[in-house]
Structure 1
Amino acid sequence: MIMGCGRLGSTLAQKLDAQGHQVAVIDRDADAFRRLGDNFGGVTVNGIGFDRDVLRAAGIERADAFAAVSSGDNSNIISARLARETFGVSRVVARIYDSRRAQVYERLGIPTIATIRWAADRMYRFLVPSDRVEVFRDPTSVVSIVETPLHRDWVGRPVKTLEDRTGARVAYLVRFGVGTLAVPSTILQDGDQVYMIVTDETVEQVLDIAQGADKEGN
């Protein structure tokens, strides 16, 4: 079930419908359903997405997943909480423009996509390029995975030592061209490409420590 039939909601609905899922779309503007196209095989319900009767009419009691992607943060979070807490939908996600609100709602257990913060961050990285190789950034634009070049002193030492020194986790490493999930006892080898989980606040410190000699030496 999708609440909101704007560009995002209609694109998501079309994609799910094309994959054979049963899709219901709610929007207060009946004209918005034109975005779905003539080939859309799902259900459309005109109404307010956080109205319980509207949700029931759309089949919320049978829904496996719910996405709140209207243009209003309040509408999205209210409908997402209703879907999860009142109707027991197991997979619920809400689009949130205000990144500060997104952090609050995440604490309530509702996954959110903070589109403005994420998009602004991506734009910034194109405008102000960096030598840093970032391979992943979470939707809230807080956590990322970066390639972490290592000083030669780290070769022969366990992953746990690197994690303890940097305070960051090794997400994975590439060895002989193959991705490997490292464990604390994994011994770092010459030629390993190491990728670590960092935040914007910790990334520079992590890279500095990893690229410097292991001064502790044990």
Structure 2
Amino acid sequence: MHIVIMGCGRVGSTLAHILEDSGHSVAIIDRDPQAFRRLRAGFRGRRVTGVGFDRDVLEEAGIESASAYVAVSSGDNSNIISARVARETFGVDNVVARIYDSRRAEVYQRLGIPTVATVRWTADQILRRVLPEGAEPLWRDPTGAVTLAEVAYHPGWIGVRTKKLQELAATRVAFVNRMGEALLPREDMVLQEGDILHVIAADNDMERINKVLTSAPEEESR
């Protein structure tokens, strides 16, 4: 898949290298051409000088064929504007914007733009949204039989009670990370957009669980 990144700072350049190493094509945008010095010599992606909310710049970066857009420049306004242009003008569904002011992050979430506000989680959460495939093991017991993993899920699961999700997927929800806060599942908890889901299960059952959760649930399950 092709991914466009705005901002070639430490986070942007790190993401560009990780994504390229994972086999994806990458274009990175920055208004300062000197910023591209953070990219390794062997970086094969496009380097585009300009701002991420300029139509010509985005087209040069390949936005029309992009599967995801990531805005991680040093400016909140630039990030959110460019993310909205990528989504609303070019129809890129998978967008993420970095927001330094955490008080504004929730406002932008309501506009339908997933945001990452805290530095510690930035690269990690962006990668999980850009590459929402499979389960990411976080812990295994010494025998390798039991795994705690972050799992991707189909958007159709949003709005489903975690209790019902556990029944349908035949697994146990360990916790949900919501806006950086770990929440234990409750009887009335409903999965919300942006939640990061963690399950604990037998290691040899993770493939089945992943297939269930990355497919849309039956309509009557809600």
Partner of 1:207 in structure 2? none
Q: CA RMSD in A?
A: 3.0
Q: Which amino acid aligns with 2:82?
A: S
Structure 1 or 2, whichever has the larger Rg, is 1
**Aligned twin of 2:159:** none
Given the alignment, which residue of 109, 112, 115 partners 1:109?
A: 112
The answer to whether structure 1 residue 9 and structure 2 residue 20 are counterparts is no
Gaps of 5+ in 2: 123-173, 192-196, 210-222
Match of 1:19 in 2: 22
How far apart, CA to CA, are the structure 2 residues paired with 1:61 and 1:175? 40
Indicate the SS of the match to 2:11: helix
In structure 1, runs of 5+ residues without a counterpart are: 120-133, 149-161, 182-218
- Asked if 1:99 is matched to 2:102, the reply is yes
Which residue in the other structure is 2:177 paired with? 137
- Matched residue pairs, number? 148
* Counterparts in 2 of 1:107 and 1:33: CA distance versus 1, 3 Å: same
Contact 2:69 2:94 in 1 (8 A): yes
Instruction: Tell me the CA shift for residue 115 of structure 1.
Output: 1.5
1:90 paired residue among 93, 98, 104? 93
Question: Which of residues 80, 83, 95 is equivalent to 1:80?
Answer: 83
Task: Specify whether residues 179 and 5 from structure 1 end up closer, same or farther in structure 2 by C-alpha distance, changes over 3 A only.
Answer: same
Distance 1:11 1:103, change over 3 A: same
Cα distance, 1:38 vs. partner? 0.6
Cross-structure match for 1:216: none
Shift, 1:94, TM fit = 0.5
State the one-letter code of the partner of 1:45.
V
Deviations 1:111-136 (A, max 9, x none): 111125969xxxxxxxxxxxxxx965
What is the CA–CA distance in structure 1 between the aligned matches of 2:189 and 2:54, rounded to whole Å?
Answer: 44
Amino-acid identity (%): 59
Residue deviations 1:14-43 (CA, integer Å, cap 9, x gap) = 011111111000001111111111111100
Counterpart residue identity of residue 115, structure 1: T
C-alpha deviations, 1:138-182, integer Å up to 9, x for none?
3x224x233x8xxxxxxxxxxxxx72xxx446988868999899x
SS in 1 for 2:113: coil
2:69 counterpart of 1:61: no
Alpha-carbon distance between aligned partners in 2 of 1:68 and 1:113, rounded to the nearest angstrom: 10
Q: State TM-score, norm by structure 1.
A: 0.59
Structure 2 counterparts to residues 183-198 of structure 1, below 5 A: none
Task: Identify if the C-alpha distance between structure 1 residues 141 and 52 changes in structure 2 by more than 3 Å, giving closer, same or farther.
Answer: same
